[in-house]
């Protein structure tokens, strides 16, 4: 609206101008003049929104004035307001968006940066930047570009909350005077809180409006005898605001100046076409002055979605007002809402026809089954246990952060209960717990991680700022529980709420049936708040194929506590297993840092029967330059560790993928949503230092020279120095680097295989395989290097620590490369090996021939020619 035309609207005239039987002219004038004086100040305040929220549609005084018109549209002839109600409504209109500017905060940006919302946003942005770029960002010292990125987000999130304080908030002038939006101190004192609450309420749900504002405010004794119906005014404000979507919000010239981008540009594009809405019967009708062409299709669909939201607001408000038995609005729906074809009749298109043919997931249960169960995680039932433990760990961490508890506080308890012959797996935590909104929202929203959603910031303000870094990132882990069974119960209570707020979410048919939400029996809730998940196991856990027979650890049945320890070997939350009479402690935060080598292996390999401490302990921490412990492990080539198989990469304390040649724990970051593949966090220098230390220990204490040689390959793969480890078997002797160089220097010829030890060949060896194994004697001038693949991790994503472009069989081993370089260094003039068939050993009197690499030392001119190769 232009100028002061809002004074011509029905509501304004009805409350402030037209004679009333229930109010005097003086009362009307008083409240009208006070509101106009407040408007004069609000003009200056809201003019700053365009500066701090660049790109948004118009939110200045013209928008606020227009709400008198849209409110009158739905109120005229159906709903009335008295002078004090009109003052409160008008003041709430002026304030409801006024805090989308730094000017709404007495100290501007400094005040905004002190809010939890700012700290959450800064922490969230820093985490996102670190994940996308690998570079750490300090939330306390952001660049100006990042600050400018956060300001609009935080202003928008807080604007309704901050609006609640504006009616009573002073602004201080340079000479120390206080200026208020409402001049009259008595009026400000009496109505200020109500004005703020109603201004705030436009951001609430309709249910919260009813819960928070149900009680009418009585009359201000000095000025009126009229009460204020707070629910009615809150409903008028939210509907008036929702309806103001016409071209006054998005002037074409202003759009050219602002040049909005992304979703903001689409808002401008559709609103600049819309005419003022009008009423037909009980429906609000929106029309467009210009049809939406093919290039404007996205803007049309945004208009469709927006008008559907307006329709829901009208419907919910109508239900609320009718249930109160008082006045109702004259409109209760938007014409064409819910049907693209119907809306296109009033908001027209040209050259295309809107059909609701967007991508749909028609069989959601099947998608969840495929992507959230065995198709994602494989057939390993322990994955579901891991995901449930992870959810509990996140909840405990959140409670620690919010309640400033110690880093070792909290507990997760796992159990298998026998209930009338049925076996139930239970996982309980004493973490933050879930509200009804979370239970029925993010928990059931496949692919949405609660901890990374806006709802987390609303449910737990300050959580991100407190350093919350959830293990769960993808919002799919909970659905893995249906791998174990289709009947699932989730008991939960927010830790900051009473037992009466506890809820039970029950699935009786997996994802194919709607879950049932009900109040939980207080006796079945976690005592101090938190969550317990129960699943009726479809397979008897004590029989083959059950959860206690996980193939990943072999085919024998496990004890539950051994399985839990292996799944979560270094979680930072205490874990226990519940028994029928008592519980058994499985692991405590940080205990993996002090466990012995034998204890670590037993924890990681639940089938291990080792009880006796290792004679020589080789386990050592991997410590980076900053002093961070990134693992505890020792090298043990796979041939020597097939029984223990106790090496894993863990993500946030939970098992991810198995290590080769290494026993112990390496901390890692996940590579996949299923978290069955992860990359260790140890950098090249950290890994090399650890590997060098391993080489020193093993060379000093392990007499098995073949094991030393295999260890050398792994040490080199890790970038370490092999020291005195054996690397070549020459004749009957295993030689380390210096010994090999010495013998090479005093020799004239070397026949060497880089493909591993000499083994029986049925095509060339005219002897029995048993004779070869028992009686083979290697020739004095024959040598070999073991063929060992040194990669600690190998999978579809590649190998670690060094990426290998060639297969293990198509490339030299690390030790082979080292030996070749030593030969070239000692025999500098040698041009390289010749491939020839030579005698590499004997079995009895039978000579054994192989085609291998043959090197000759550089000859002096007086030396005779060596005999030719066969």
Compute how many other C-beta atoms are within 10 angstroms of the C-beta atom of residue 357: 7
Query: CA dihedral defined by 11, 14, 18, 24, rounded to 10 degrees?
Result: -120
The angle, 0 to 180 degrees and rounded to 10, between the axes of the packed helices 230-243 and 61-75 is 110
| Res 641: pLDDT | 43
Given phi > 0 = left and psi -120 to 50 = alpha, else beta, which region is 469? beta
What confidence category does residue 371 fall into, taking pLDDT thresholds of 50, 70 and 90? very low
Handedness of CA 577, 579, 584, 585 (dihedral sign): positive
* E runs forming strands in 69-194: 171-172, 178-179
- Tokens in use for 404? 């400033």
| Res 760: pLDDT | 95
Within 8 A by CB and 6+ apart from 244, the residues are 63, 66, 67, 70
What confidence category does residue 461 fall into, taking pLDDT thresholds of 50, 70 and 90? confident
Nearest Cα to Cα of residue 795 among 695, 711, 621, 674 = 674
Q: What is the pLDDT of residues 292-344, one digit of tens each?
A: 999 999 999 999 999 999 999 999 999 999 999 999 999 999 999 999 999 99
| Res 362: pLDDT | 43
Residue 374 has pLDDT above 80, yes or no: no
Q: What is the pLDDT of residues 378-394, one digit of tens each?
A: 567 888 899 899 999 99
CA atoms within 13 A on the CB side of 96: 27
| Res 440: pLDDT | 84
Mean of pLDDT values over 337-360: 85
The answer to whether 224 and 187 have CB atoms below 8 angstroms apart is no
| Res 237: pLDDT | 97
9-13, 414-418, 474-478, 754-758: the lowest-pLDDT one = 474-478
Residue 373 has pLDDT above 90, yes or no: no
Q: Give the whole-angstrom CA distance, residue 426 versus residue 583.
A: 13
Q: With pLDDT > 70 as the criterion, what percentage of the chain qualifies?
A: 90
Given phi > 0 = left and psi -120 to 50 = alpha, else beta, which region is 281? left
pTM listed for this prediction: 0.75
Residue 117 has pLDDT above 60, yes or no: yes
Q: How far is CA 24 from CA 76, 191, 223, 709, 771, in A?
A: 22, 20, 10, 103, 121
What SS3 class is residue 331? Answer: coil
Q: Pairing state of beta strands 647-651 and 662-670?
A: parallel
Residue 372 has pLDDT above 70, yes or no: no
Q: How many residues does the chain have?
A: 870
Q: Give the whole-angstrom CA distance, residue 511 versus residue 514.
A: 7
| Res 439: pLDDT | 86
What SS3 class is residue 836? Answer: strand
What confidence category does residue 360 fall into, taking pLDDT thresholds of 50, 70 and 90? very low
| Res 519: pLDDT | 93
| Res 651: pLDDT | 92
Nearest Cα to Cα of residue 35 among 55, 63, 58, 65 = 65
Compute how many other C-beta atoms are within 10 angstroms of the C-beta atom of residue 27: 19
Q: Give the whole-angstrom CA distance, residue 815 versus residue 736.
A: 11
Largest Cα span, the chain: 134
What SS3 class is residue 152? Answer: helix
| Res 805: pLDDT | 44
Q: Give the whole-angstrom CA distance, residue 576 versus residue 565.
A: 9
What SS3 class is residue 654? Answer: strand
- Residue appearing with tokens 């092999």: 722
| Res 616: pLDDT | 82
The answer to whether 430 and 529 have CB atoms below 8 angstroms apart is yes
Within 8 A by CB and 6+ apart from 711, the residues are 635, 637, 694, 695, 698, 702, 725
Cis peptide before 631 (omega within 30 of 0): no
What confidence category does residue 477 fall into, taking pLDDT thresholds of 50, 70 and 90? low
SS3 content of the chain, % helix, strand, coil (to 5): 40, 15, 40
Q: Give the whole-angstrom CA distance, residue 304 versus residue 245.
A: 12
Q: What is the DSSP letter of 262?
A: H
Q: Give the whole-angstrom CA distance, residue 713 versus residue 722.
A: 9
What confidence category does residue 269 fall into, taking pLDDT thresholds of 50, 70 and 90? very high
Residue 214 has pLDDT above 70, yes or no: yes
Q: Give the whole-angstrom CA distance, residue 522 versus residue 493.
A: 9
What confidence category does residue 138 fall into, taking pLDDT thresholds of 50, 70 and 90? confident
Compute how many other C-beta atoms are within 10 angstroms of the C-beta atom of residue 260: 18
The answer to whether 201 and 163 have CB atoms below 8 angstroms apart is no
What confidence category does residue 478 fall into, taking pLDDT thresholds of 50, 70 and 90? confident
- The continuous run of DSSP H or E covering 340 comes out as helix 340-343
261-265, 415-419, 675-679: the lowest-pLDDT one = 675-679
| Res 231: pLDDT | 97
Q: Give the whole-angstrom CA distance, residue 11 versus residue 20.
A: 13
- The continuous run of DSSP H or E covering 838 comes out as strand 834-843
- Tokens in use for 380? 């390993």
Rounded to an integer, what is the distance from CA 84 to the centroid of its chain? 49
Q: What is the pLDDT of residues 505-548, one digit of tens each?
A: 999 988 778 889 999 999 999 999 999 999 999 999 999 889 99
Residue 207 has pLDDT above 80, yes or no: yes
| Res 804: pLDDT | 53
The answer to whether 442 and 450 have CB atoms below 8 angstroms apart is yes
Q: Give the whole-angstrom CA distance, residue 241 versus residue 233.
A: 12
Mean of pLDDT values over 424-433: 96
Tell the burial category of 91 from Cβ atoms under 10 Å away from its Cβ (0-12, 13-18, 19+).
buried
- Tokens in use for 458? 């609303």
Mean pLDDT of the chain: 89
Mean of pLDDT values over 641-670: 84
The three-point CA angle 549-553-556 to 5° equals: 45
The answer to whether 308 and 355 have CB atoms below 8 angstroms apart is no
């Amino acid at each position: 609206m232009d100028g002061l035309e809002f004074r011509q609207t029905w509501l304004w005239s009805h409350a402030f101008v037209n004679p009333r039987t229930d109010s005097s002219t003086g009362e009307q004038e008083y409240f009208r003049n006070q509101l106009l004086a407040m408007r004069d100040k609000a003009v200056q305040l809201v003019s700053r929104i365009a500066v701090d929220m660049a790109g948004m549609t118009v939110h200045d005084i013209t928008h606020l004035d227009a709400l008198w018109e849209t409110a009158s549209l739905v109120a005229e002839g159906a709903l009335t307001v008295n002078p004090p109600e009109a003052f409160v409504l008008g003041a709430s209109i002026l304030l409801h968006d006024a805090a989308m500017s730094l000017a709404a905060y007495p100290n501007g940006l400094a005040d905004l940066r002190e809010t939890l919302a700012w700290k959450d946003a800064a922490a969230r942005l820093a985490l996102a930047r670190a994940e996308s770029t690998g570079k750490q960002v300090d939330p306390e010292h952001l660049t100006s570009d990042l600050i400018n990125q956060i300001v609009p987000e935080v202003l928008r999130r807080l604007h309704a909350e901050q609006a609640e304080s504006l009616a009573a908030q002073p602004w201080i002038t340079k000479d120390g005077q206080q200026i208020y939006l409402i001049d009259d101190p008595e009026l400000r004192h009496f109505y200020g809180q109500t004005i703020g609450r109603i201004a705030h309420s436009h951001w609430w749900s309709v249910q919260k409006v009813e819960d928070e504002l149900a009680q009418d405010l009585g009359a201000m004794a000095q000025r009126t005898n009229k009460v204020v119906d707070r629910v009615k005014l809150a409903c008028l404000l939210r509907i008036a605001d929702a309806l103001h979507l016409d071209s006054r919000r998005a002037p074409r010239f202003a759009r050219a100046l602002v040049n909005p981008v992304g979703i903001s540009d689409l808002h401008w594009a559709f609103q600049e076409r819309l005419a003022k809405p009008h009423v037909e019967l009980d429906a609000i009708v929106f029309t467009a002055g210009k049809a939406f062409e093919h290039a404007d299709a996205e803007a049309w669909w945004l208009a469709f979605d927006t008008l559907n939201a307006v329709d829901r607001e009208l419907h919910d408000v109508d239900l609320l007002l009718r249930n109160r038995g008082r006045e109702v609005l004259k409109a209760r729906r938007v014409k064409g809402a819910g049907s693209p074809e119907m809306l296109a009749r009033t908001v027209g298109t040209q050259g295309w026809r809107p059909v609701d043919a967007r991508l749909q997931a028609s069989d959601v249960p099947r998608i969840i089954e495929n992507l959230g169960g065995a198709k994602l995680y494989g057939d390993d039932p322990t994955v579901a246990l891991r995901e449930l433990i992870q959810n509990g760990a996140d909840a405990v961490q959140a409670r620690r952060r919010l309640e400033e508890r110690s880093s070792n506080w909290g507990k997760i308890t796992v159990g298998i209960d026998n209930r009338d012959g049925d076996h139930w797996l239970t996982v309980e935590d004493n973490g933050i717990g879930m509200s009804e909104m979370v239970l029925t929202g993010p928990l059931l929203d496949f692919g949405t991680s609660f901890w990374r959603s806006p709802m987390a910031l609303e449910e737990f303000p300050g959580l991100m700022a407190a350093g919350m870094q959830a293990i769960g990132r993808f919002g799919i882990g909970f659905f893995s529980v249906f791998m174990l069974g289709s009947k699932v119960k989730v008991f939960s209570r927010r830790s900051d709420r009473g037992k009466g707020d506890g809820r039970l979410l029950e699935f009786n048919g997996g994802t194919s049936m709607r879950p049932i939400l009900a109040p939980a029996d207080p006796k079945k809730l976690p005592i101090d708040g938190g969550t317990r998940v129960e699943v009726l196991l479809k397979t008897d856990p004590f029989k083959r194929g059950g959860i206690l027979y996980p193939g990943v650890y072999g085919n024998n049945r496990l004890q539950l506590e051994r399985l839990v320890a292996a799944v979560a070997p270094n979680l930072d939350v205490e874990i226990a297993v519940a028994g029928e009479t008592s519980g058994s402690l499985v692991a405590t935060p940080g205990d993996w840092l002090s466990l012995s080598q034998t204890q670590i292996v037993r924890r990681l390999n639940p089938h291990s029967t080792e009880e006796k401490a290792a004679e020589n302990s080789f386990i050592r921490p991997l410590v980076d330059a900053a002093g961070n412990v990134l693992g505890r492990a020792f090298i043990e080539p796979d041939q020597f560790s097939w029984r223990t198989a106790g090496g894993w990469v863990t993500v946030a304390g939970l098992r991810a993928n198995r290590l080769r040649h290494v026993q112990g724990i390496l901390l890692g970051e996940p590579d996949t949503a299923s978290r069955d593949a992860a990359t260790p966090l140890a950098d090249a220098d950290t890994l090399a230092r650890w590997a060098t230390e391993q080489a020193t220990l093993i060379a000093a204490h392990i007499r098995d020279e073949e094991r030393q040689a295999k260890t050398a390959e792994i040490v080199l793969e890790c970038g370490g120095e092999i020291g005195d480890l054996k690397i070549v078997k020459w004749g009957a002797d295993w030689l380390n680097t210096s010994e090999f160089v010495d013998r090479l220097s005093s020799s004239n010829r070397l026949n060497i295989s880089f493909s591993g030890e000499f083994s029986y060949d049925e095509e060339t060896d005219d002897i029995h395989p048993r004779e070869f194994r028992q009686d083979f004697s290697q020739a004095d001038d024959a040598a070999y290097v073991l063929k060992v693949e040194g990669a600690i991790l190998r999978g579809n994503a590649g190998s670690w620590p060094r990426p290998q472009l060639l297969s293990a069989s198509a490339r030299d081993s690390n030790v082979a490369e080292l030996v070749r370089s030593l030969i070239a260094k000692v025999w500098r003039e040698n041009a390289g090996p010749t491939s020839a068939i030579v005698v590499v050993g004997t079995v009895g009197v039978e000579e054994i021939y192989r085609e291998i690499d043959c090197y000759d030392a550089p000859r002096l001119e007086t030396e005779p020619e060596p005999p030719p190769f066969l």
